[in-house]
Structure 1
Amino acid sequence: MKRGFALTGALLLAGCASTPAEVATTPPPAPAEAAKPPAQLQYLYGSPEAAVVVRATNARIADYGVWRIKERPKDSVVLAAGATMDAPTFEPCGNKPFAAVFDADETLIWNLGPMRHFAQTAYDPKVWDQWEKTGAGKAKAMPGSVEMVNALRAAGIAVIANTNRSAVNAKGSEDTLRAAGLGEFKHGETLFLMGDDAGGSSKDPRRATIASKFCVIILGGDQLGDFSQQFNDKALPAASRMVLATGAGASALWDKGWFLFPNPVYGPWEKLGWGDIFSTDSEWEPK
């Protein structure tokens, strides 16, 4: 999950109850409920359409993993150090054991509790930190994710989480994944977290560490940064980011080792403006 994201305006409550000074001794009222949840939350967490898409993606991942290990690949799907999407090269596999590497939030689990809270207020890193520590039993496995990780493990493929949850809260994340029915993840072995190295929020160094020990045949995530930090270059214009993600290098990997989950709730795309989305040839006015 991307730390420090700001939910879009559509995710913010229009008005919240306030506590007048003259009654400050009484408990403040709970935030008022919006008439209905924001569209992003309605779709991802509540719609059968999203459930079908996510379950189908997980089924494809399981089928791909079982098929891929029938013939040992020469290379993993982790980009080698210094490789670009225009000229991709990959970490070699050798005789390393097989692994599938996933983001955690909105990839293996849905964070329904804090997402509801942030939709009614705003993103608060302190609240998220609390969730990392205490979310066990509250986070929900995404549709088909339990079956997917079980199928991969049964085939002899290690399932590893590489997430930007904090290393300080490693136990909370281990407990959360286990309580969601996703089995055991051990920090430093099958769970890699922000703070494990000097890379900060970039997952590239952690991916390199994992690829040094495993033949990574699958990468799964809900953000492009779950595949390469190149997509998160802040100097990269929106149009160039689109070209990078849909060009020949990346297109050869989508659904062929790289698997992307839908997440309309948060991501770098929140910063896109009208001009980034609609070109001049899309201009039209009703008559």
Structure 2
Amino acid sequence: MKKIIILVISGTVLFYSCKKNTVEKEITSQDHLIMSVLWYQQSAEMKALYYQGFNLAKFKLNEKVVNSGTETKKAVVVDIDETMLDNSPTEAKCIETGESFTNENWIKWTSRAQAKALPGAVEFSKYAESMGVDVFYISNRSLDEHENTLKNLQSEGFAFADSNHLLLKETDSSKKSRREKVSENYEIIILIGDNLGDFSEIFDKRNQNNGFDLVEQYKNDFGDRFIVLPNPMYGAWEKPIYEFKRDLPEQEKYKLRKSKLISY
């Protein structure tokens, strides 16, 4: 009888131990990305939204060129990642391996120079070229990624895929100084991106309400000078979710994500 009790207790402890480990494994994985990555890769709505965004950008570009009262050269500034190129495979790899995003696994991806052009992106760059408007690619990829980024843009057939039109991050992640550099010789008529920081430095530092007040303040610029493209996978919008704390354990991130949900 004593042996039976010991076996039952041992089995119970082992069961709960395994159950606890399973829960921890679920929390430390990247499974929270599954639906957003699936939407990005598998939904026709995603494709439609990109076409819609670039169609609107072409319409506004034409309008601004025709109505321009100056001889100043015109330019469009675009972000690269999740704006012109699709990097969702690296998010899928994080889900597959259970690893969080790191610079190392990002470089492993970009060194392949295999990201596909997003719907309507190449066509828009060529339309801008046909209208006499330059396209500048301003990205927070590092300078070490310059060669492979250029190779990727060129292989996908983008217009203006050259070193003069590719401005990567040097020290400051804010894109303000690079936009100002373009503005020295060009009038920037449209900016396109998936993150508010792609449009203006006013969006770089968001408060606890995630920049909703700033969007409200500049609402008339969206769909006119600012063209926003969808990215549900990652972005600066995550920072307020995690209370602006870096390097949080995955368990803590999991709790914070759930705490920010609005239910009824």
Above 0.5 in TM-score?
A: yes
User: Whole-Å Cα distance in 2 between the matches of residues 226 and 70 of structure 1?
Assistant: 25
Instruction: Among all aligned residue pairs of Structure 1 and Structure 2, give the percentage whose two residues are the same amino acid.
Output: 24
Question: How far apart are 1:228 and its partner, in Å?
Answer: 1.7
1:45 to 18, 28, 41: 41
1:178 to 123, 132, 154: 154
Aligned to 2:65: 69
User: Whole-Å Cα distance in 1 between the matches of residues 112 and 210 of structure 2?
Assistant: 39
Question: How many residues are treated as equivalent by the alignment?
Answer: 223
Summarize the alignment of residues 57-136 of structure 1 with structure 2, pairs less than 5 Å apart. Answer: 57-72=53-68, 95-120=71-96, 121-135=99-113
TM-score when normalising by structure 1: 0.71
> Gapped runs of 5+ residues in structure 1?
1-12, 17-30, 74-93
AA in 1 matched with 2:212: M
TM-score when normalising by structure 2: 0.76
> Gapped runs of 5+ residues in structure 2?
1-24, 242-255
Q: Runs (4+) of structure 1 moved beyond 6 Å?
A: none
Aligned to 1:5: none
User: Whole-Å Cα distance in 2 between the matches of residues 164 and 151 of structure 1?
Assistant: 25
Report SS of the residue matched to 2:156. helix
Summarize the alignment of residues 1-287 of structure 1 with structure 2, pairs less than 5 Å apart. Answer: 14=26, 38-72=34-68, 95-120=71-96, 121-135=99-113, 138-187=114-163, 189-195=164-170, 198=171, 200-233=172-205, 236-239=206-209, 241-247=211-217, 250-271=218-239, 272=241, 278=262, 284=264
Question: How far apart are 1:266 and its partner, in Å?
Answer: 0.1
Report SS of the residue matched to 1:117. helix
Higher helix share: 2
Q: Verify the 8 A CA contact 1:238 1:276 in the aligned structure 2.
A: no
Question: How far apart are 1:146 and its partner, in Å?
Answer: 1.5
User: Whole-Å Cα distance in 1 between the matches of residues 118 and 38 of structure 2?
Assistant: 15
Report SS of the residue matched to 2:136. strand
- Between structure 1 and structure 2, the one with the greater Rg is 2
CA RMSD of aligned residues (A): 2.7
User: Whole-Å Cα distance in 2 between the matches of residues 185 and 132 of structure 1?
Assistant: 16
